[in-house]
A and B are shown apart, each in its own frame.
Chain A
Amino acid sequence: MRLHEAFLISILGAGMAAVWPAPGRAQLAMSNFLEARVGRDPEDTLADPSRFSRFDQLNADYSRDALRIGFRFEGYLPSDRPDLDYARFVRRYAGWTTPRFNALVGNYEAIFGRGLVLRAFELPGIVREEQETPQFGDSRDLDGVRLEVHGDRWTVLALQGAPRRADEDPRVERRLGSVAGTTAGFEVAEGVHAGANYLRIDTRSMEPGATREVAGSFLQLALEPWLQRLGVPKLVLDTYLEYDRVTGLTGTRSPNAPAGEGYGLYGSQTVFLDEVWPGLRGGLTWEYKDYQNFELGVNEPPTLVREHGFALLNRSTHVLLPGQEEGYQLEARFDYRNRVGLVANSSRAENARSLRFEERYVELSGHWRGASVTLFADEQEDRFESIGDRDTFGGSLLVPFRGVHSVEFQAETQESEIVAGTLRARYGDRYWSLTYGWAGRLSLAAVRQTTNDPDEIEDPRRRRAYDALTARMPFGGHHEVLATWGRRRGGLACVAGTCYKVRSFDGVAAQLTSRF
């Protein structure tokens, strides 16, 4: 959408708000995210080391009675690359909400079931940047119409829209093809939910003449209330099962599905006891996946690989290949009187080309008077990334003092072995951080990360260091400044179940997040 078109929509929307004859009070909510940087990607030796850039996202949301309109205006301005400069509306919407009905025109999020068929979303606060792109917000939303009607025990969602390709920046056309479909769910009985999905994907702009159809159903059982009635208290017994079948495919990625067809199967089972032993809570969650020819372009099915908050583990994870993948995840969790916790996780993903990802993780944590200590050990084999063996150990220690002050230390070490044909090579990564926090005032952190990963340095006997200092300061109750000075390591990053690439950076960056 062109700037002037978006501007016209904004004017129209504002005009509508102005003349709307609703008795309710108008409400306006705005927020802004601004990042200014001086520096460059150290790999990009042609770039000016003192390059200045500014990225800004302004969100506005106006409502009056049942009407709601809003937009996001986004812009990027580098000092040395006019071709990467942009400023435009990347999100605009108008919606009407009543207690039983919601209609929305414009950009929106949506999910069918657990996302096997459709998951349109964005990653708030995440700024993407690739080698030849400007900085841009990560959004995988739909642009179209969404209608939702619901009763006390049922919901029907119908939508039509154009999906956005997450890796392309706003300067280029990001909408390809369209989707239309519906999902319905209802509560059959207490703790028993069932539903069905249908989605039609028109990919004509990508593959001439191609139209795919996906249909399936899901069932969720949360049997705790029934168990209580049967005299079995404190037992959680949850089940989720979803199966969806796709037809109309023109190519195939899986030898396990008929030509032109595919399917996605996902199941989970949780057994948890509130009192395994006096003071001891614990249980198991088991998940299974089988995705064959199930890369629909608008879906993001569960990966079934543990997501980690520790820095080195977070970046060395498996990215799902829904075109063809099968696997499971098993996680056991125990807690003793909120003092000691134990987590053990085992996951496996396998591809028909004999590629395999396996991970085993164990974590022990202790908590006492606000202080906490966590230790972990992790072992991986990732044939998708030619890693024969990867061992990671580490932990963190958080100590509060004088009520509002705290110090946190975190350390990790990781050894990896590359196995590619007859080639075998080992490399290691180290990470540590020290953070001082003063509640409501500021936090200061020093971070050091080193590696001799052959992807990043030529001489494995030397190590590359990524050192950075960060300061975070909230102010005014609605604003926060985050300043970083030093080197940021590039590579994979995962947040809330979604992985994306981060570009290296060396310099000074300041982010201001505001709500007003």
Chain B
Amino acid sequence: MMRQLRAAGGSILASTALAAGVYAAESTPATGSVRAALAELRLPDLDGRIVALSSVLDRGPVVLDFWATWCKPCLAAIPELNALYEDLGPEGLQVIGINEDGQRNAAKVKPFVRAQGIRFPVLLDLNRAAQSRLNATALPTTLLLDREGNVVHTSFGYRPGEVAQLRAKIVTLLAEKPAE
């Protein structure tokens, strides 16, 4: 019992320490935001150009889709993500595919993207920094971020019809006016 209390106590102490600091700094911190994590992340696109992820919030809400070429559920989600990007992209939605094949399959990602007809931008997370910093613990993981970088929705794995369900939340976000 003492060991269990000690183990649980560690987590509680750590959380309390951080929470105390946050509370002292500001009584109402924004929670669930990954804006700072995005600011630190710079990933290459399929042509080797480095893209700062902080720039993805410039236009509007963002769907970040963590995927890999060998991940079958990830591939099943592609048609729905393509449709989302084509329908709501003109309204301000951004869809960014973050590829988690690592360096093992990096050379094969671009032909894969072209063969599958993926229309949204894809970035290579060669050292899995984005997956780690954004805590995308499964593939696929889909994050919906609002303009402030708050994670409005998280989904792990994919079942047909799920991206369509996400659409309603995106439409709501698109209808919101940007904060001054």
Contact = CB atoms under 8 A, between A and B. Distances in A.
The answer to whether A and B interact is yes
Interface in B90-134: 100-108, 110-112, 114-117, 126-129, 131-133
Interface string A185-216: 00100010100000000000000000000000
A415 to B, nearest CB: 23
Contacts of A82: 3
Interface of A: 3, 7, 10-11, 13-20, 25-31, 33, 54, 56, 58-64, 68, 71, 73, 75-77, 82, 85, 87-89, 95, 97, 99, 102, 104, 109-111, 114-115, 119-125, 148, 150, 155, 187, 191, 193, 220, 222, 224, 236, 238, 240, 268, 270, 272, 274, 281-283, 285, 287, 300-303, 307-309, 314, 331, 333-335, 338, 341, 367, 370, 372, 374, 396, 398, 400, 403-406, 437-440, 443, 472, 474, 477-478, 480, 495-498, 513, 515-516
Contact of B103 (A14, A33, A115, A398): A115
B132 A272 contact: no
B153 A372 contact: no
B103 A301 contact: yes
B18 A60 contact: yes
A435 to B, nearest CB: 9
Given A73-B14, A75-B7, A119-B127, A26 B40 contact: no
Contact of A3 (B10, B25, B33, B165): B10
Task: Kindly name the residue among B116, B139, B162 whose own CB sees the greatest number of chain A CB atoms within 10 A.
Answer: B162
Q: How large is the interface on B (under 10, 10 to 19, 20 to 34, 35 or more residues)?
A: 35 or more
B22 A95 contact: no
Interface in B30-70: 30-37, 39-40, 42, 46-50, 52, 54, 68-70
Given A3-B10, A124-B128, A77 B107 contact: no
Contacts, number: 309
Contacts of B138: 125, 513
A335 B115 contact: yes
A19 to B, nearest CB: 8
17 contacts: A7-B13, A11-B17, A14-B22, A14-B24, A18-B24, A26-B22, A26-B30, A61-B36, A87-B6, A119-B127, A150-B50, A187-B49, A268-B107, A270-B108, A480-B157, A496-B128, A497-B101
Which has the most chain A C-beta neighbours within 10 Å: B17, B106, B159?
B159
A502 B157 CA distance: 21
Given A18-B25, A148-B42, A272-B110, 8 more contacts: A28-B33, A62-B18, A71-B18, A89-B14, A124-B128, A333-B111, A480-B156, A480-B157
B90 to A, nearest CB: 22
A193 B112 CA distance: 22
Contacts of A104: 40
B160 A404 contact: yes
Given A62-B22, A87-B10, A29 B137 contact: no
Interface in B1-18: 3-4, 6-7, 10-11, 13-15, 17-18
A400 B162 CA distance: 12
Nearest to B166: A440
A157 to B, nearest CB: 10
Given A122-B128, A122-B132, A222-B47, A283 B103 contact: no
